[in-house]
Amino acid sequence: MLEIDHIKARYGTLTALHDVSIALKPGARLGVFGHNGAGKTTLLRCIMGAHAPAEGQIRFQGEEVPPGRVPETVRRGIAFVPQGHNVFPNLSVERNLHISGLLFDQNFVREVLKLFPVLDERRSQRAGSMSGGEQQMLALGMALMTQPKWLLLDEPSTGLAPVIVRNVMAQMLKVSEAFGTGLIIVEQNVPATLKVVDQALILKSGRPVFQGEARELAEKPDLWEWF
Ligand SMILES: Nc1ncnc2c1ncn2[C@@H]1O[C@H](COP(=O)(O)OP(=O)(O)OP(=O)(O)O)[C@@H](O)[C@H]1O
Ligand SMILES: [Mg+2]
């Protein structure tokens, strides 16, 4: 279980998250939505232990995720793909994968390349010369090199054409199904994300205004009322 237990987060006097609680079973897929400044990235940073909550606790498999020890969080099985293209532009695709998995099983590169044929075809290409969608795929592959139980993604569709967004979303679903990896996807593109996730959380000014099944949200014609 990954438990977000009554989290409150502050930056100085500003309260970015008020009282967020959610318990996720292994392999669950959660979409987190909300306007700019709603607290989505802050929630991911709290889960990683990159930001210390003012109140509440994150627990993974019954144990607290202690703030300030991100490498330990990654070793325990939670990986984070921050917003933007997080690749080493001057290194090859293959080198990028090897470096991300330095502390893990290097042979896993083969599994990742098998899963992403587009990366396999370009294994010796300089990462910075690939398209935005390909770089996003590489960032996903790099996070996978740590063989995570949970994969946290901050706006993976930013700057991608609709057809590429569908492709990236489909790949995330494939990863989740192939390895049983849980997903927490922060997204502005709600309809595309609802096709992949089974649960949804909408934040408004740091407060949850919807929490429930993705299906329920997808069926709501007045979905945007929540925003
Ligand atoms: N390092 C920081 N210092 C001070 N305030 C911050 C910091 N990071 C975020 N905030 C503030 O906290 C609030 C929540 O920010 P957060 O980045 O979590 O929102 P978000 O939902 O990810 O927004 P976006 O969709 O624009 O990425 C915002 O009001 C933001 O200005
Ligand atoms: Mg953000």
Query: What DSSP designation does 126 have?
Result: B
**Is 196 within a domain?**
yes
What is the Cα gyration radius of the chain?
Answer: 17
**Is 78 within a domain?**
yes
Domain of residue 46, residue span: 2-87+151-226
**Is 114 within a domain?**
no
Taking the CA of 35 as reference, the closest ligand is: 1
**Banded pLDDT at 222 (limits 50, 70, 90):** confident
- Nearest-CA residue for ligand 1 atom 27 is 36
Q: How far apart are CA 71 and CA 146, in angstroms?
A: 11
Q: How far apart are CA 174 and CA 113, in angstroms?
A: 13
Per-residue CA distances from 126 to 6, 58, 99, 113, 137 (Å):
44, 38, 14, 16, 14
221 pLDDT more than 80 = no
Interval between CA 108 and ligand 2 midpoint (Å)? 30
Interval between CA 138 and ligand 2 midpoint (Å)? 20
User: Which of ligand 1's atoms lies nearest the C-alpha of 38?
Assistant: 21
With tokens 């396999």, the residue in question is 120
Interval between CA 21 and ligand 1 midpoint (Å)? 19
Q: According to the model, what pLDDT value does residue 103 have?
A: 85
Q: What share of the chain is helix, strand, coil (3-state, %, to 5)?
A: 35, 30, 35
Nearest by Cα to 214 from 60, 38, 28, 76: 28
Interval between CA 10 and ligand 1 midpoint (Å)? 10
Interval between CA 52 and ligand 1 midpoint (Å)? 14
Q: Which two tokens stand for residue 39?
A: 């607290």
User: Which of ligand 1's atoms lies nearest the C-alpha of 42?
Assistant: 18
**Is 100 within a domain?**
no
The gap from C-alpha 160 to its chain's centroid, in whole angstroms, comes to 16
**Is 135 within a domain?**
no
Pocket test residue of 7, 14, 15, 185 for ligand 1, highest count of atoms within 8 A of CB: 14
**Is 8 within a domain?**
yes
Q: How far apart are CA 45 and CA 157, in angstroms?
A: 19
For 152-201, what is each residue's pLDDT tens digit?
Answer: 999 998 888 888 888 889 989 988 998 899 999 999 999 999 999 999 99
Pocket test residue of 11, 155, 205 for ligand 1, highest count of atoms within 8 A of CB: 11
Q: What average pLDDT is seen over the chain?
A: 93
**Is 143 within a domain?**
no
The alpha carbon dihedral of 209, 148, 51, 62 has a sign of positive
How many domains, the chain?
Answer: 1
**Is 108 within a domain?**
no
Give the pLDDT mean for 204-214: 95
Nearest by Cα to 181 from 153, 218, 211, 210: 153
Q: Which two tokens stand for residue 160?
A: 């991608």
For 80-114, what is each residue's pLDDT tens digit?
Answer: 999 987 899 999 999 999 999 988 888 999 999 99
Q: At what angle do helices 93-100 and 108-115 cross, to 10 degrees?
A: 130
> The sheet that has 2-11: what strands, in order across it?
14-24, 2-11, 55-60, 63-64
For 110-146, what is each residue's pLDDT tens digit?
Answer: 999 998 888 999 999 999 999 988 998 899 999 999 9
CATH number at residue 168: 3.40.50.300
